[in-house]
Each structure stands twice: as C-alpha cells, then as structure tokens.
Structure 1
Amino acid sequence: MGELIRLDTAYHDTFLAAMAEFAAEGRTGEPTMVGDDLATWTGRWETPAGFAEYVGTLNDDALRVRKEGWVLCTNLWWVEDGEYVGRLAIRHELNDWLLEVGGHIGYDVRRSRRREGHATALLAAALPIAVDLGIERALITCDTDNVGSRRVIEKNGGVLEDERQGKLRYWVDLTER
C-alpha cells in the first residue's frame, strides 16, 4: 500500500498523468484544490521549473496563506511504487466556508487508482497528522452522491452530522487517537 509524503518534484511525470485524469473528469475550475490547481497551474507545471514552483508553493501552504479566504494547510501526496496516486490537504483551522462545506481534510485519488483502498488508507494516515496539528475533531465532507467517499469517511470513524449545500458533513473524534 502507499504512503503519505511531502510533495516532491521526483513525481513530475506521474503527477501530470494524474492531473490529466482529473481534467478529463471535468474538474478544472471547480471550487476544490484540484480544480483550482488545474485552472491555475496547467500550462506552467509541465516544465521542470514550473513544477518546482508549484511544489514549493504547496509545501509553503503550511507556513503562509496562499489566497485570501484560505487557511494554513498541510499538503501531502499519496504515492506507491514511485507513482503519484493522490493528494491530501489538512486545513489547520476552519473558516466559515470550510465549516459549512469544505472541512478540515480533503483528499483526491486519481481515477485509475480508485477502488483499491487508497483513499481509506490515505485518510487513516492523515488523522495522526491532524492530531499533531492540534485538531481534536476533524470535519470531513463529501458530495451527497459520492458513496465511495462516504464509506471511506465512515471506515475512519466519521459520524454524520448533517447535509449542507449538497455535502454530507462528518466529524471524526481525534481525542482518543
């Protein structure tokens, strides 16, 4: 199974292949980190210099807020056997939008690697990191029609609170981890 790592330019080729998969799903420009990154970085991250800038920017998100309205965020990648499989974002706190629909933790697994258990393992690996960041209860959301993500969150201890704006809102108690 894969592992969570700090973003690394060594995964350039497999990262670009994954981003092409996300773009083919129509994710470019959607109000998510993948959607925003596709809209912002496509045409730049294809070069080694552009990719290094992208990786540096995301690694710095834990130290500074990248955009107005965003919060500090630890970004990590899920990799397996030298391949980029997915991404994870742990937001250090909740602003109004994150409390309503975004949550503390967001993750994406590339289409070609879904249904292999990566999302469940990725989220499980993220929870101790959230604890280290001082998060006692993590809000994790998913689209109401995303059955796979619902299962991932529930397998990791998520308890459904409610539905808002087409998102199911789950809380994971981290105080006993």
Structure 2
Amino acid sequence: MPTLTVPDARFHQSWLEAALEFEGAHRDGAGGEDWTLKGLRDPAHFARFVDELVADTLPESPRKDGYVPCTFRWIVDGDTVLGSLAVRHELNDFLFNEGGHIGYSVRPTARRRGHAAQALKDSLIVAAELGINRALLTCDEDNAGSRSTIEHNGGIYEDSRAGKRRYWIATEADY
C-alpha cells in the first residue's frame, strides 16, 4: 500500500523514472524548481536536492522570495515513487488565490488507482500537525481527476479564481 514518505536519496532511480513520465510538465508538490533533470541524474546532485526538500520544512531555511516553508512527501509503494506532495505551512497571496496549502501530482502510469486520494487524506494529518485547521486546495477548472480527489476528501467548493477551483477541507485537527 502506498504511503507518504520523507524524500530520501535511496529512491533516486525510481524518482528519475517518475520524473521522466511527466515529459517536462509541471509537477505540483515536487519542489526543486531550480534543479534540472539532467543534473539530478548525478547521485551527488540528487542527494543535495533531497536535503533541500527535507530542510524546506524549517522556517529558517533559505528560500526564494514569495516561497513559504513547505513539508515535502513522496508517494511511495515499496521502492517505487508514484508521485509527490507538498504541504505549504502558510498562505501568501498567490497560494491563497491559486496554489493552496497542499499540492500533489501522481506519475501518469500510476493514475486512476486512488493514490492521489489516499495521499491527500494522509497529508491532512500532516497539515493538522502543522497547526493548519482548514486546508485550502486548488485545481484547474478542467482537471476532473483532481476535482474528484479533493471532493472525495471532503473539499467544500468556495469559488474559482484565475482558472482555479478553490476548496477548503477540515484537517484532522477539526475531527
């Protein structure tokens, strides 16, 4: 059964295989925008990338302007990386309107099997542990799969802004 796992360099090969499936498309919840796939093929570079993802949880970690502390998790089944997920600790203007607290993506060959729904459910516990009582989730207006995943986990539609549907979900802290 897939679980949310702290990023770890031991998943290097599987992470690369998953990344290649996206063919350069944006992977929400993946982090590491400054790293190239070519560079991440090198195990030493990949280890630094993983260290950066893990350290991003700490408020004092350096980050680009406009970025907030974030807890990254990988969706893993055994030794296979199925996707990535990020729990953003706070909302800035962009995240409040378009990005939300939680972003996730599942590699194309692992979609439509409930992995995103379970990962989102598990991430609500992480959000609660961070003191987030209600998590904001967004998805593109035309992303029926993500819309279904959010609604399956109790997402209450609020509105749409800039082509994004916005939902609020109570975290475990509210149960």
Could you say whether these structures have the same fold, taking a TM-score greater than 0.5 normalized by the shorter chain as the test? Answer: yes
Alignment partner, residue 82 of structure 2: 85
* Alpha-carbon distance, 1:3 to partner: 0.5
Spell out, residue by residue over 1:141-163, the C-alpha distance to the aligned partner (whole angstroms, 9 max, x if none): 00000001001001111000000
1:31 and 1:88, CA in 2 relative to 1: closer, same or farther beyond 3 A? Answer: closer
2:74 is paired with a residue of what secondary structure? strand
Alignment partner, residue 150 of structure 2: 153
- Runs of 4+ that moved beyond 6 A: none
CA contact (8 A) 2:29 2:85 kept: no
Q: In the aligned structure 2, how far is the partner of 1:114 from the partner of 1:31?
A: 13
1:32 and 1:79, CA in 2 relative to 1: closer, same or farther beyond 3 A? Answer: closer
CA contact (8 A) 2:137 2:169 kept: yes
* Alpha-carbon distance, 1:98 to partner: 0.2
1:65 and 1:73, CA in 2 relative to 1: closer, same or farther beyond 3 A? Answer: farther
CA contact (8 A) 2:73 2:84 kept: yes
Alignment partner, residue 59 of structure 1: 54
The aligned length equals 172
**Seq. identity, %:** 45
1:128 partnered with 2:129: no
Gaps (5+ residues) in structure 2?
A: none
Gaps (5+ residues) in structure 1?
A: none
* Alpha-carbon distance, 1:31 to partner: 9.1
* Alpha-carbon distance, 1:66 to partner: 2.0
CA contact (8 A) 2:28 2:104 kept: no
For 1:22-37, list aligned pairs within 5 A. Answer: 22=22, 24=23, 26-27=24-25, 30=26, 32=28, 34=30, 37=32
Q: In the aligned structure 2, how far is the partner of 1:125 from the partner of 1:41?
A: 29
Alignment partner, residue 9 of structure 2: 9
1:112 and 1:52, CA in 2 relative to 1: closer, same or farther beyond 3 A? Answer: same
* Alpha-carbon distance, 1:41 to partner: 2.5
Aligned partner (choices 100, 104, 108) of residue 105 of structure 2? 108
CA contact (8 A) 1:19 1:38 kept: no
* Alpha-carbon distance, 1:90 to partner: 0.2
Report the TM-score, using the length of structure 2 for normalisation: 0.93
* Alpha-carbon distance, 1:81 to partner: 2.0
